[in-house]
Amino acid sequence: MQDKHSNLVYVVTLSNRTPARSTTSWRDVVTVHNLYFHPVGSNYPREPVNYIGFRFDGQLRSIRHVEHVEVVSSLTGRIPGFSYTLNGPHYLYTLGKPIMPSHKVTNGTVVRANRVYAAIDLLLTCSTISEAGRKTRLRLEGTKDQLTSRPGVPSNTHKKTRVAKSLAKVNAKYGKALKRLAK
């Protein structure tokens, strides 16, 4: 059985602003230095992600595979021209080459700094990020239903499979993001 969550893309927005005491913008951290960082846990992923999608100016601009990740408590000396104080542990991702959508993929109903999880194939084929997120949620919910029910067997009499347990972990991990997609 394949892990349907391994192709999820964590889609974030990138500002073109430059933090105080810096000459490198938030956007340049990704597009020039091939890095991205975020806090560990809270309203951010508790586990490192495989893919990160970047949106700005109203549309998806690229998807990047995460080549390397490390937990850091300081960015000092890691990003040229960039000064930013971290509060607590952060994941620092080294990003692979950009995967560019072949057509315009607009935000849809995704607004401001909202973050979305979407399957990579849906992000590259849907016309909006919100549509890709909604279809991803439906796909994942359908997978869960298929794994936990068997024809002819009452659902409360069979043991959960290893994959169903894995889905429960992913739901715990991405639950808030998936609930936001449902709105």
In a domain? residue 2: no
- Say whether pTM exceeds 0.95: no
CATH number of the domain within which 172 lies: 2.30.130
Tens digit of each residue's pLDDT (9 = 90 or more) over 45-65: 999 999 999 999 999 999 999
Those residues with Cβ within 8 angstroms of residue 3's Cβ, 6 or more apart along the chain or in another chain: 163, 166
Whole-number pLDDT of residue 28? 97
Q: 33 or 170: which carries more pLDDT confidence?
A: 33
In a domain? residue 104: yes
CB atoms within 10 A of CB 172: 10
Residue 131's pLDDT band (cuts 50, 70, 90) = very high
Whole-number pLDDT of residue 144? 55
In a domain? residue 26: yes
- What whole-number distance in Å separates Cα of residue 29 and Cα of residue 35? 6
Residue 150's pLDDT band (cuts 50, 70, 90) = very low
Q: How is 69-95 classified by DSSP, letter by letter?
A: EEEES--TTTSTT------S-EEEEEE
In a domain? residue 57: yes
158-167 mean pLDDT: 45
In a domain? residue 1: no
59-83 mean pLDDT: 95
Q: Indicate the number of domains in the chain.
A: 1
Residues of the chain above pLDDT 90, percent: 68
- How many Å separate Cα 38 from the centre of its chain? 11
What is the residue range of 176's domain?
8-182
In a domain? residue 34: yes
In a domain? residue 120: yes
pLDDT at position 4 over 70:
no
Mean of all residue pLDDT scores within the chain? 83
Q: Which of 30-34, 85-89, 129-133, 149-153 has the lowest mean pLDDT?
A: 149-153
Amino acid symbol at 90? H
Whole-number pLDDT of residue 110? 80
- What whole-number distance in Å separates Cα of residue 113 and Cα of residue 96? 23
Contact assessment for residue 44 and residue 52, using Cβ atoms and an 8 Å cutoff:
no
pLDDT at position 3 over 90:
no
Instruction: Give kind and range of the element (H or E) at residue 123.
Output: helix 120-125
71-89 mean pLDDT: 94
Residues of the chain above pLDDT 70, percent: 75
- How many Å separate Cα 84 from the centre of its chain? 22
- What whole-number distance in Å separates Cα of residue 50 and Cα of residue 8? 7
- What whole-number distance in Å separates Cα of residue 128 and Cα of residue 134? 10
